[in-house]
């Protein structure tokens, strides 16, 4: 396993093509726009050697060696539960997205789906994937789970698009491998990953078989271009540390638009090639695993937000006010509700035919749907308690200016025994954690709310629920009523 420093140094050997704000980034480790994201991902490596190593590591079922949990295939419900607990702890330490869970979910989804394809189609994807997984575990690689396509016209299927590159597709194949073209959007952690694992993003029909592709690609493979996404307040990283709110770890996951310009992939790294009938299952397996995460990572962020809000109440001198306590209690309730859902969907997990463990799909989708609401409400309550000055504070440069600084020091003080700088720093942390990009990720990460609603409706057995109600109400099913009436008539 790599430690945090070894992970950071391993990135120096890669040469990905990354553009940000009109310029090419030569080193993700050293560039101020990407370094915070490197730091947050490094925490996933550091945890494997700290007091929480039991959560952060696992024993590989392939090699028997200890591996980082982010490269592990779940072997029990205990593994699923530990994953959630680990995500919460890392978020508490970083206050941001640490990016690596997307790749973990892609690995686990691929393990299940390749096994099924091989069983039903006689292919060799699963064994290929196992060999690739051994390589990932042995080298403790950070994998960018790469699912979301740019989609173009959402009313049209991939094969119906005016521009066929709106979904990643296979443009050619030969005895050595395949060539893919297209783009993947919102790619969390891509800039500081070692490899990407591309997956299909929607259900596909026979006419879409060229879009049924899963493959592993190095982030610096020829033909791959990354365009680093802009985030709320990201330019503050270039101006100091106070105004960023979380200077060491940034605020969100460092997403990219990743372009695949006729990228060659050798067959040993191809895990789906045209089996369109399995695309929907691929999507659902990945999505359920990823939605499981949100009651872990987002609750860890909520823990930080709640702590910052309580601190602001104390800095403002009102921690004992009843309405403040009530709002803090509500924030705690909302956070722990999300956590309960994640633990539940993990504890209710079941073994798959591939031998790995999979979460309860219904409960996993409940986790994420709650997050799309609860994180917004937690943020609203934080704004309510902290006060409007978190959105109107002067520049850090003005605070440090000998001319204006004394005025800011004087007039932005709360309680006399709390340094003004502490109050400003806490306000900036709340500002950046509860607005803009951070909230949008809570809404749309792992799928939009409508995607969860569809899965809730699909996974719920409504006929069974109606049966419960009819039994208690003394109502016999219509068919049974008809049979009883026929029998009565026959007796007469």
Question: Which tens digit of pLDDT belongs to each residue from 422-447?
Answer: 999 999 999 999 987 776 777 777 67
- Helices 77-94 & 279-315, crossing angle to 10 degrees? 40
pLDDT given at position 411: 97
Nearest CA among 104, 97, 302 for reference residue 186? 97
- Non-local (6+) Cβ contacts of 131 within 8 A are 268
The sign of the dihedral angle between the CA atoms of 377, 380, 382, 385 is negative
Please state, in angstroms and rounded to a whole number, the distance separating the CA atoms of residues 181 and 211.
Answer: 10
Query: What is the layout of strands, in order, in the sheet containing 256-266?
Result: 23-25, 17-20, 224-228, 256-266, 177-184, 169-173
The half-sphere exposure of 438 on its side-chain side, counting CA atoms within 13 A, is 27
Query: pLDDT at residue 162 above 60?
Result: yes
* Contact yes or no for 213/273 (Cβ under 8 A): yes
Pair type for strands 224-228 and 17-20: parallel
Q: CA distances (Å), 334 to each of 212, 296, 303, 305, in order?
A: 39, 13, 11, 12
What are the structural domain ranges in the chain?
Answer: 283-462
Neighbours of 469 (CB within 10 A): 9
177-186, 234-243, 267-276, 483-492: least confidently modelled range: 483-492
Q: CA distances (Å), 158 to each of 162, 208, 272, 276, 452, in order?
A: 9, 6, 17, 12, 22
- Per-residue pLDDT band for 449 (boundaries 50, 70, 90) equals confident
pLDDT given at position 253: 80
Question: Is 297 one of the annotated active-site residues of the chain?
Answer: yes
Neighbours of 465 (CB within 10 A): 10
- Per-residue pLDDT band for 492 (boundaries 50, 70, 90) equals low
Q: Which of 45, 74, 255, 309 is catalytic?
A: 255
Whats the size of the chain, residue-wise? 492
Tokens 């993990």 appear where? 346
- Per-residue pLDDT band for 481 (boundaries 50, 70, 90) equals low
Query: pLDDT at residue 317 above 60?
Result: yes
Nearest CA among 437, 436, 319 for reference residue 385? 319
Please compute the mean of the pLDDT values over residues 240-257 and round it to a whole number: 88
pLDDT given at position 491: 60
Q: Is 408 helix (H, G, I), strand (E, B) or coil?
A: helix
Q: Which of 94, 188, 202, 309 is catalytic?
A: 188
Question: Is 97 one of the annotated active-site residues of the chain?
Answer: yes
pLDDT, tens only, 111-126 = 999 999 999 999 999 9
Pair type for strands 195-198 and 143-146: parallel
- Per-residue pLDDT band for 489 (boundaries 50, 70, 90) equals low
pLDDT given at position 452: 82
Query: pLDDT at residue 345 above 70?
Result: yes
Please state, in angstroms and rounded to a whole number, the distance separating the CA atoms of residues 58 and 131.
Answer: 18
Burial class from Cβ neighbours inside 10 Å (0-12, 13-18, 19+) for residue 61 reads: middle
Pair type for strands 195-198 and 66-68: unpaired
Q: Which of 195, 275, 284, 441 is catalytic?
A: 441
* Contact yes or no for 255/249 (Cβ under 8 A): no
Query: What does residue 224 show for φ and ψ, rounded to 5 degrees?
Result: -95, 125
Burial class from Cβ neighbours inside 10 Å (0-12, 13-18, 19+) for residue 184 reads: buried
Residue 473 is encoded by which pair of tokens? 């109400």
pLDDT, tens only, 163-215 = 999 999 999 999 999 999 999 999 999 999 999 999 999 999 999 999 999 99
pLDDT, tens only, 361-400 = 999 999 999 999 999 999 999 999 999 999 999 999 999 9
pLDDT given at position 447: 76
Q: CA distances (Å), 312 to each of 148, 170, 206, 248, 479, in order?
A: 38, 53, 57, 21, 63
- Non-local (6+) Cβ contacts of 483 within 8 A are none
Tokens 């049974």 appear where? 480
Query: pLDDT at residue 478 above 60?
Result: yes
pLDDT given at position 430: 95
Q: Which of 132, 289, 294, 358 is catalytic?
A: 294
- Per-residue pLDDT band for 240 (boundaries 50, 70, 90) equals confident
Round the average pLDDT of the chain to a whole number and report it.
Answer: 94
Q: Which of 148, 256, 289, 297 is catalytic?
A: 297
pLDDT given at position 454: 87
Query: pLDDT at residue 483 above 60?
Result: no
- DSSP letters of 73-127? PP-SHHHHHHHHHHHHHHHHHHSS---THHHHHHHHHHHHHHHHHHHHH---HHH
Please state, in angstroms and rounded to a whole number, the distance separating the CA atoms of residues 361 and 338.
Answer: 15
Question: Is 101 one of the annotated active-site residues of the chain?
Answer: yes
Give the end-to-end CA distance of the chain in Å, rounded to a whole number.
Answer: 81
The DSSP letter of residue 387 is -
Q: Which of 20, 97, 341, 345 is catalytic?
A: 97
Q: CA distances (Å), 367 to each of 52, 72, 337, in order?
A: 24, 22, 9
Question: Is 114 one of the annotated active-site residues of the chain?
Answer: no
75-84, 266-275, 478-487: least confidently modelled range: 478-487
Nearest CA among 221, 174, 230, 232 for reference residue 198? 221
Q: Which of 37, 44, 72, 101 is catalytic?
A: 101
pTM of the model: 0.92
Q: Which of 290, 358, 371, 372 is catalytic?
A: 290
Please state, in angstroms and rounded to a whole number, the distance separating the CA atoms of residues 81 and 58.
Answer: 13
CATH of 283-462 given 1.10.10.10, 1.20.140.10, 3.40.50.2300, 3.30.70.360: 1.20.140.10
pLDDT cut 70: percent of the chain above it:
97
Query: pLDDT at residue 487 above 60?
Result: no
């Amino acid at each position: 396993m790599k430690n945090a420093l070894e992970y950071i140094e391993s990135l120096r050997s890669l040469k990905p093509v990354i553009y940000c704000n009109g310029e090419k980034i030569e080193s993700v480790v050293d560039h101020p726009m990407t370094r915070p994201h490197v730091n947050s991902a490094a925490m996933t490596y550091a945890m494997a050697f700290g007091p929480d190593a039991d959560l952060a590591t696992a024993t590989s079922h392939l090699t028997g060696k200890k591996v980082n949990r982010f490269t592990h295939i779940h072997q029990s419900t205990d593994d699923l539960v530990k994953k959630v607990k680990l995500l919460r702890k890392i978020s508490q330490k970083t206050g941001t997205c640490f990016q690596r869970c997307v790749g973990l979910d892609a690995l686990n989804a691929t393990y299940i789906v390749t096994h099924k394809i091989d069983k039903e189609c006689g292919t060799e994807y699963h064994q290929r994937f196992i060999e690739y997984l051994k390589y990932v575990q042995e080298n403790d690689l950070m994998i960018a789970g790469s699912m979301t396509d740019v989609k173009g016209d959402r009313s049209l299927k991939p094969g119906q698009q005016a521009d066929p590159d709106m979904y990643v597709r296979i443009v050619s194949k030969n005895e050595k491998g395949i060539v893919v073209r297209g783009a993947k959007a919102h790619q969390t952690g891509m800039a500081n990953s070692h490899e990407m694992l591309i997956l299909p993003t929607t259900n596909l029909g026979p006419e879409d078989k060229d879009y049924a592709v899963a493959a592993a690609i190095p982030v610096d493979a020829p033909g791959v271009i990354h365009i680093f996404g802009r985030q709320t307040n990201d330019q503050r990283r270039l101006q100091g540390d106070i105004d960023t709110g979380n200077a060491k770890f940034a605020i969100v996951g460092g997403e990219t638009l990743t372009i695949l310009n006729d990228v060659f992939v050798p067959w040993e790294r191809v895990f789906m090639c045209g089996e369109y009938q399995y695309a929907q299952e691929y999507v659902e397996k990945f999505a359920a695993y990823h939605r499981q995460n949100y009651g872990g990572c987002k609750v860890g962020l909520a823990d930080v937000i709640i702590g910052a809000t309580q601190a602001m109440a104390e800095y403002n001198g009102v921690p004992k006010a009843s309405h403040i306590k009530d709002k803090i209690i509500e924030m705690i309730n909302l956070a722990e509700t999300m956590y309960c859902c994640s633990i539940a969907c993990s504890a209710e997990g079941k073994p798959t035919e591939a031998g790995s463990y999979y979460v309860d799909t219904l409960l996993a989708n409940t986790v994420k749907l709650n997050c799309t609401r609860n994180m917004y409400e937690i943020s609203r309550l934080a704004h309510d308690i902290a006060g409007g000055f978190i959105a109107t504070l002067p520049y850090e440069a003005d605070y440090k200016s000998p001319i204006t600084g004394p005025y800011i020091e004087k007039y932005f003080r709360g309680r006399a025994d709390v340094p003004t700088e502490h109050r400003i720093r806490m306000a900036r942390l709340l500002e950046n954690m509860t607005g803009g990009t951070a909230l949008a990720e809570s809404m749309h990460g792992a799928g939009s709310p409508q995607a969860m609603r569809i899965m809730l409706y699909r996974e719920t057995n409504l006929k069974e629920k109606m049966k419960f109600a009819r039994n208690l109400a003394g109502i016999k099913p219509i068919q049974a009523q008809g049979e009883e009436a026929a029998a009565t008539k026959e007796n007469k």
